[in-house]
Amino acid sequence: MSTFQAPKGTYDLLPPASATYLAVRDALAAPLKRSGYGYVETPGFENVELFARGVGESTDIVTKEMYAFETKGGDRLALRPEGTASVLRATLEANLHKAGNLPVKLWYSGSYYRYERPQKGRYRHFSQVGAEAIGAEDPALDAELIVLADQAYRSLGLRGFRILLNSLGDRECRPAYREALQGFLRGLDLDDETRRRIEINPLRVLDDKRRDVQRQLEGAPLLRDHLCDACRAYHDEVRALLTAQGVAFEDDPRLVRGLDYYTRTTFEFVHDGLGSQSAVGGGGRYDGLSEMIGGPALPSVGWALGVDRTVLALQAEGVTLELPPVTSVFAVPLGDEARRVLFAAVTELRRAGIAADLSYGGKGIKGAMRSADRSGARYTLVAGERDLEAGVAQLKDMESGEQEAVALDKIVDRLRTLLG
């Protein structure tokens, strides 16, 4: 055993469990690929200032959770704690928004990093699939992304998730709400750090998960009571579009997201089978983020769905995904000449799109068949000297135990027929 271990709060994805994570990632991305979203990949680290401006200097992510470091050249960088700021930065840098085809629709997948207290469903390294629609203000875009996430979860067999929906208003109506909220919060029994948040961004206090704080927030003013006519009409249209598509949601007037850039539509996907870490994904509209990081006005909307959390939600519901076999055919050569012949057969099977593997290391028949069992292969292909003299290999169905001799030049055709 190695003297090294994975860093605290991280994990290794290993077979066979890793196959489930890959399937979840593919399922979350599939509706996006059908809806005009192109794939984007950004670096695992960015300039610290990108997240300080975009995510918000008053957020826990920036003040407590971000992995920041200084390079040998003196640059201040951070491992990415979320994906939106990086994707928007990449869009602006490549001038995708100037191509004349707005919105720019992008999706991404990768690992993100936050220094948090490790617990089930909350890791320091985690995986997400995200989507951003950049450069258009349209309630249909907000609704589209929520519908696509709903489709993705349902395609996996999840049924126990809920969609929470709210509006955070915009720069026109939020100042009046901010003032009313600050007046309320200043009268509460809060610690010094939370009181400092009241003056910087009081919405962050509403996102505080501590029970003693939540109890005091019960009478807090609601943003929906302060929405301007334009924001109220926009939110009503998002709700109407979702309802027309049969997507159930719950209005949650206290829902805020943990990032400073959100405006208007905000939403969260929660699963009650996950305990305190119930959110499996979320997102919203961020119309001012481009300007925050030095770009032009580009109203945008997006979400990120947690791969790790989604896997936990599947486990909570007892959903087992149907995964393609890692190996369909396992070849067992008995002797040097048989190894050359079956190596060629396995290569041809793979070229034909059939998952095939070979027993390596000169194992005897018993050891090789144990390897075949562990591989989960449906068929084994065995050949020794006598088989080669007859120009055949022995094909065994590992489920039924039935065995047949197959001509060496007919192996691919026969397995294609058997495997459909």
Known binder of ligand: residue 128? yes
> CA–CA separation, 240 vs 353, rounded Å?
46
> CA–CA separation, 211 vs 188, rounded Å?
14
Known binder of ligand: residue 193? no
Asked if 300 contacts 103 with a C-beta cutoff of 8 angstroms, the reply is yes
Known binder of ligand: residue 116? no
Known binder of ligand: residue 49? no
> CA–CA separation, 310 vs 302, rounded Å?
18
Using alpha carbons, select from 21, 18, 9 the residue that is nearest to residue 125.
Answer: 9
Known binder of ligand: residue 257? yes
Instruction: Specify the residue for token string 């799109």.
Output: 353
> CA–CA separation, 83 vs 259, rounded Å?
12
Known binder of ligand: residue 83? yes
Helix axes 139-155, 17-33, angle to 10 degrees: 150
Helix axes 139-155, 229-244, angle to 10 degrees: 30
Q: Give SS3 for 264.
A: strand
Instruction: Specify the residue for token string 């929470």.
Output: 164
Sign of CA dihedral 179, 181, 184, 189: negative
Known binder of ligand: residue 112? no
269 phi/psi in degrees, rounded to 5: -105, 120
Known binder of ligand: residue 237? no
Known binder of ligand: residue 177? no
User: Which residues carry a binding-site annotation for L-histidine?
Assistant: 82-84, 114, 128, 132, 257, 261-262
Task: Report the binding-site residues.
Answer: 82-84, 114, 128, 132, 257, 261-262
